[in-house]
Structure 1
Amino acid sequence: MQEQIITTLTSLAGTRIEDEGKARKALAGEAADMTKTLTSYTLRKAMAATADAMPWRLLMEDQEDGEPIAAFLKLRKRLTLQLIGTTSSSSSCMIVNEQDRLKWDGVRRFLQDTGYLVSALEAAEKAAEEPAPEPATEPEPAKPAPSRRPTPAQRKALELIARGGVTRSQFTLKDRERIGSDNGTIYADTFEVLHREGWVTLDSSKPLFQG
């Protein structure tokens, strides 16, 4: 996690400092062209880019101690305290006032752009402190259900079915299904139990009205 955050910080710092370089170069080009008027737009853009890059320059300098994460958190704390205690510039020079305003806007953006990284560090630290979950115990194998034994009436029905000649029929939807046997009586309810238990199979290749 820390390596990823360091990579992200390095990338963000490079982008901000690169933007500052481009804005300064544009301002220098405009100032060097004597045929063009020096505009406040280019000057303000360079000032804003410089203000945005300032916290990142400080971070790159502080990282030279070899503890980039510690330097990052320390810089955020220092800039937060400075931002809380600062007051707006009241200079008689409008440029100085604008420069001061852009400076603290740059600090705010730095704190906003890196807030999620602090949250990620705190979450990783909390996860590391939590005890590892105990290994899940394997559930005991399910005991096989005791096999059911047919009742005397069900056994008698099975014997009749085994002899053959048993049909199941229904002539109309209103009629109850009937079980026909050449050798004895098999009640429909008994047959349903036999079929549900898997003790008999039902041939449904013919419609019920044919049996």
Structure 2
Amino acid sequence: MQAKVIEILTSLAGTRIEAEGKAREALAEEAADMTKGLTSYTLRKALEATADAMPWRLLMEDQSESEPVEVFVKLREQLTRQLIRTTSNTSTCTISNEQGRLKWDGVRRFLQDTDYLVSALEAAEKAAEEPTPAPEPAQPAPGRRPTPAQRKALELIAQGGVKRSQRFKGAIRVGSLNGTIYADTFEVLIREGWVSVDYSQTLFHGQPVELTDAGRAHLPA
């Protein structure tokens, strides 16, 4: 979180300081043109941009702390205290009074623009301090019930004589003397652990198939 906050602060500071530079250049260009008079609009834009950039310049120039986030938090606290104590300018110079007003407007904007970053830092700090809740014990999955076709296959296997076999390169089949057990049904019985196959026998001679206790539990007692 701190790295993200630093990235945002750097981007915002660059934007404000760049805007100040452009406003100053526009004022300097107007002042250099001796054929034209100075306008209050250009002067005001330069004063506003300078006031907006001032807190950001303080933030970027303050290297007293090793952690930039600490500098940011302390600067906000310092500017907040100054803003609370400040009073309106009462100079006889109108421009000086306006300059003072714009300065504190810039401070207010700085505090407003960065308020959400303080909230994000506080939330991250609180989350880091809170103990991680112990995971709830895993609950066993409810037992799956066989479909009517699967139950019928279980009944056929319970009667005995069922074998899994293959002749030459033909398909593997599950043979029963008492009915048909389809391959896809048999795959489900194996996957659910309801039947077992004697793989010690070859497919050519037939691999006996029997019910497991889990499979037998789905049949009437």
**What is the TM-score of this pair, normalised by structure 1?**
0.66
**Structure 2: distance between partners of 1:134 and 1:50:** 53
**What is the identity, as a one-letter code, of the residue corresponding to 1:7?**
E
In the other structure, the counterpart of 2:25 is 25
In the other structure, the counterpart of 2:43 is 43
Q: Match of 1:78, SS? A: helix
**What is the identity, as a one-letter code, of the residue corresponding to 1:123?**
A
The residue correspondences of 1:105-184 to structure 2 (distance < 5 A) are 105-142=105-142
Instruction: Tell me by how many angstroms 1:44 deviates.
Output: 0.7
**Structure 1: distance between partners of 2:115 and 2:137:** 40
**Structure 1: distance between partners of 2:45 and 2:143:** 77
In the other structure, the counterpart of 1:88 is 88
Question: What is the RMSD computed on CA atoms of the aligned residues?
Answer: 1.3
**Structure 1: distance between partners of 2:51 and 2:63:** 19
Q: Match of 1:87, SS? A: coil
**What is the identity, as a one-letter code, of the residue corresponding to 1:45?**
K
Q: Which range is displaced more, 120-129 or 134-143?
A: 134-143
**What is the identity, as a one-letter code, of the residue corresponding to 2:83?**
L
The gaps in structure 1 that reach 5 residues or longer are 146-211
The residue correspondences of 1:31-70 to structure 2 (distance < 5 A) are 31-63=31-63, 65-70=65-70
**Structure 1: distance between partners of 2:144 and 2:95:** 87
**Structure 2: distance between partners of 1:136 and 1:108:** 47
In the other structure, the counterpart of 1:204 is none
* Greater C-alpha radius of gyration: 1
The gaps in structure 2 that reach 5 residues or longer are 146-221
**Structure 2: distance between partners of 1:33 and 1:85:** 41
Instruction: Tell me by how many angstroms 1:143 deviates.
Output: 5.5
Deviations 1:57-112 (A, max 9, x none): 00011146321000000000000000000000000000000000000000000000
**What is the identity, as a one-letter code, of the residue corresponding to 2:40?**
S
Q: Match of 1:89, SS? A: coil
Instruction: Tell me by how many angstroms 1:138 deviates.
Output: 1.2
In the other structure, the counterpart of 2:6 is 6
Instruction: Tell me by how many angstroms 1:144 deviates.
Output: 7.2
CA pair 114-63 structure 1, distance change in 2 beyond 3 A:
farther
**Structure 1: distance between partners of 2:59 and 2:122:** 20
Count the aligned residue pairs: 145
CA pair 64-13 structure 1, distance change in 2 beyond 3 A:
farther
**Structure 1: distance between partners of 2:91 and 2:31:** 25
- In the alignment, does 2:103 pair up with 1:103? yes
CA pair 143-55 structure 1, distance change in 2 beyond 3 A:
same
**What is the identity, as a one-letter code, of the residue corresponding to 1:121?**
L
**Structure 2: distance between partners of 1:33 and 1:141:** 83
In the other structure, the counterpart of 2:194 is none
**What is the identity, as a one-letter code, of the residue corresponding to 1:22?**
K
